[in-house]
Amino acid sequence: AKERSTFAVFLMDICCCCIACFGIVLSTYSEYQRSEFLKINANTLFTGGLFHYARHINYTGEVVLFAGWAMLTRSRYALIVPFFFFTTFHSFYVPDLDLHLKNKYTNEYKQWVTGTPWTMLPYVI
Average pLDDT over residues 41-61: 97
- Picking from 2-6, 65-69, 80-84, 104-108, which range would have the lowest pLDDT averaged per residue? 2-6
Q: From the CA atom positions of the chain, what is the Rg in Å?
A: 18
Distance CA 22, CA 30 (A): 12
pLDDT for 28-45, tens place per residue? 999 999 999 999 999 999
Return the closest-CA partner of residue 120 out of 58, 71, 72: 58
Query: Given pLDDT bands bounded at 50, 70 and 90, which one contains residue 5?
Result: confident
**Average pLDDT of the chain, as a whole number:** 96
CA distances from 14 to 8, 20, 66 (A): 10, 10, 15
Query: Given pLDDT bands bounded at 50, 70 and 90, which one contains residue 1?
Result: low
